[in-house]
Structure 1
Amino acid sequence: MDIKKIQINGQTIRVGVRTGLPNTTPLMIFNGIGSGIELALPIVNAMHPDLEVIAFDVPGVGGSTMPSFTYTFSDLAKTVTKILDHLGHEQANIIGLSWGGFLAQQFALDYPLRCKKLILAATSCGLMSILPDYKVLGLMASPRRYTDPEYAASIAPALYGGKFRYDKKLASSHAKEMCADKSSYEVTTGYSYQMMAIAFWSSAFWLNQITQPTLVLAGSDDPIIPLSNMKRLSDQIANAELHVFEDGHLFFLTDLPNVAPIVNEFLR
């Protein structure tokens, strides 16, 4: 994957591109909270080789510079259009993972002609969704798992569920990959901006306005996004289909051999 930095409205955005066949619709990945391009690489590699795949770090995460002010998902959706413009694409297929699923829904609503197909994984409608257990909410509130690998591994079973509940090596390796090469202040600030974007956001009142073909993917044992939230998305988005995997919140990584064929077929 070719990773570079581009300038958008005075902001440095780190973008990764895996080239594919010309004149095809690229696939763009919107990552989960606190996650940089590197955590999306297994997904990139599992996509059909003909597909161009794009990933980027949102402002304040990974290699993208810290924004001067807080932002909304509508602000980020506009940034996505500018990334696509820079790369010479009129349209993209979108995968939104967890927090990135909120941005994916907003992008599909705000720029329907630029979003061809939509994949929503382990996400919800935001406000008015079914919340996780209060202990999980407490773990989500802190960005410590992005700076302390031992702590991240210790909370992985309760936070992510699925295979993390019994595979300690998986939890440990994921924790090491996830921890950012940034100061605690930078990680905390970037994370707080992402959390503030969630605070008052909801798609509950306009899910039926999403018209793109939509693939909804869920884990059966997801402590962060209870399964009922994903069923709601598939029920209220007119052109949606739901697939449930016997895994946890990070099924897109831990069950990728089963997930990738479904995604590739949907995009074919």
Structure 2
Amino acid sequence: MPQPFIFRTIDLDGQTLRTAVRPGKPHLTPLLIFNGIGANLELVFPFVQALDPDLEVIAFDVPGVGGSSTPNRPYRFPGLAKLTARMLDYLDYGQVNAVGVSWGGALAQQFAYDYPERCKKLILAATAAGAFMVPGKPKVLWLMASPRRYIQPSHVVRIAPMIYGGSFRRDAKLAAEHASKVRSAGKLGYYWQLFAGLGWTSIHWLHKIRQPTLVLAGDDDPLIPLINMRMLAWRIPNAQLHIIDDGHLFLITRAEAVAPIIMKFLEEERLRAVIHPRPAV
């Protein structure tokens, strides 16, 4: 039986954050999920359920999304990374592994860079280095710039094949299932998320990310062309790239295939070098 989630809404100096924790075993480092733009935490549940049930998982709605309150002023990624660290303190977590999806991948990079002692390993899925990226097609980016897909379920059903690619091109039911789990907090929160990424880039400090990093990319991703993921894997010193035969949301649509790749990466421990004595002559 899958473990139930424990939901809590916490208050950090007036900013409420809705959190969900799937309890796990203490021998595994917990996994923190940074979700995509406009995406409430329920959207990653299929992925979480595919992971090892012993793995503790932490998900949350960023400000202005799902059940978290919408701030009066915009925010930037460094501020969100600091808020995340405070959330972990509140929930009594020290070090975590982090996985970031799309927009959440940018936030995951910022968190790993700003709080290296809190982030043991890093997983970047369908994301890029921000302003210095090879963009998708203009029509796809224009559709993404609007929060309409999170407000009108019929709209996302119509545009999903174009913006998500992969399985959404082949299975019409996927878009309807995706839309049924969406919990919008309104337009303003979506625009604040867009503002957080405006002009942001990690390209000049990616080489300083020292955590073991797994870069996951879809080979049919209209939003984040594959070359962006290759660039991340090239710039981050201790990174490995794994390409998935799917589109932008492969973490959800191919959860059963992707979860073992992630678990293997998380369970790997780097072995100390052994210097063998010179054989006696």
Query: Normalized against structure 2, the TM-score is what?
Result: 0.92
Number of the residue aligned with 2:36:
32
2:18 to 14, 31, 38: 14
Residue of structure 1 equivalent to 2:69: 65
* Stretch of structure 1 that moved more, 210-219 or 142-151: 142-151
1:163 equivalenced with 2:167 (yes/no):
yes
Q: Equivalent residue for 2:273?
A: none
When you count helix as a share of all residues, which structure comes out higher?
A: 1
CA distance in 1, matches of 2:32, 2:136: 28
Distance 1:48 1:23 in 2: 12
The DSSP-based 3-state class of the residue aligned with 1:224 is coil
C-alpha contact (below 8 Å) 2:136/2:222 kept by paired residues: yes
Q: Distance in 1 between matches of 2:160 and 2:180?
A: 12
Alignment of structure 1 residues 48-197 onto 2, 5 Å: 48-178=52-182, 180=183, 182=184, 186-197=185-196
In structure 2, how many angstroms separate the alpha carbons of the residues matched to 1:213 and 1:127? 24
Partner of 1:199: 198
Structure 1 vs Structure 2 CA RMSD: 1.0
Matching residue of 1:256: 255
Report the alpha carbon displacement of residue 204 of structure 1 after superposing the two structures with TM: 0.8
Map 1:198-237 to 2 at 5 A.
Answer: 198-237=197-236
Is contact 2:17–2:62 with CA below 8 Å preserved after alignment?
yes
Q: Give, in whole Å, the separation in 1 of the partners of 2:78 and 2:27.
A: 28
Superposed displacement of residue 68, structure 1: 2.1
2: CA distance between counterparts of 1:56 and 1:264?
21
Q: Which amino acid aligns with 1:30?
A: F
Distance in 1, matches of 2:53 and 2:156, equals: 33
Structure 2 counterpart of 1:265: 264
Question: Does the Cα contact within 8 Å between 2:207 and 2:236 map onto a contact in 1?
Answer: yes
Q: 1:130, CA displacement in angstroms?
A: 0.2
State the SS of the aligned residue for 1:5.
strand
**How many residue pairs are counted as aligned between the two chains?**
263
The sequence identity of aligned pairs, in percent, is 55
- 1:176 is displaced (CA, Å) by 2.2
The residue aligned with 1:3 is: 7
Return the alpha-carbon distance in structure 2 between the equivalents of residues 62 and 173 of structure 1: 17
Counterpart code for 1:141: A
Q: Give ranges in structure 2 of 5+ residues lacking alignment.
A: 268-281
Higher gyration radius (CA): 2
**Residues in 1 aligned to 2:87 and 2:27: alpha-carbon distance in whole angstroms:** 17
Q: What is the Cα deviation at residue 170 of structure 1?
A: 1.3
Secondary structure of 2:66's aligned partner: coil
Contact 2:43 2:178 in 1 (8 A): no
Letter in 2 for 1:198: G
Instruction: Give, in whole Å, the separation in 2 of the partners of 1:78 and 1:56.
Output: 14
Matching residue of 2:271: none
Amino acid in structure 1 at the alignment position of 2:250: F
Deviation at 1:213, TM superposition (A): 0.2
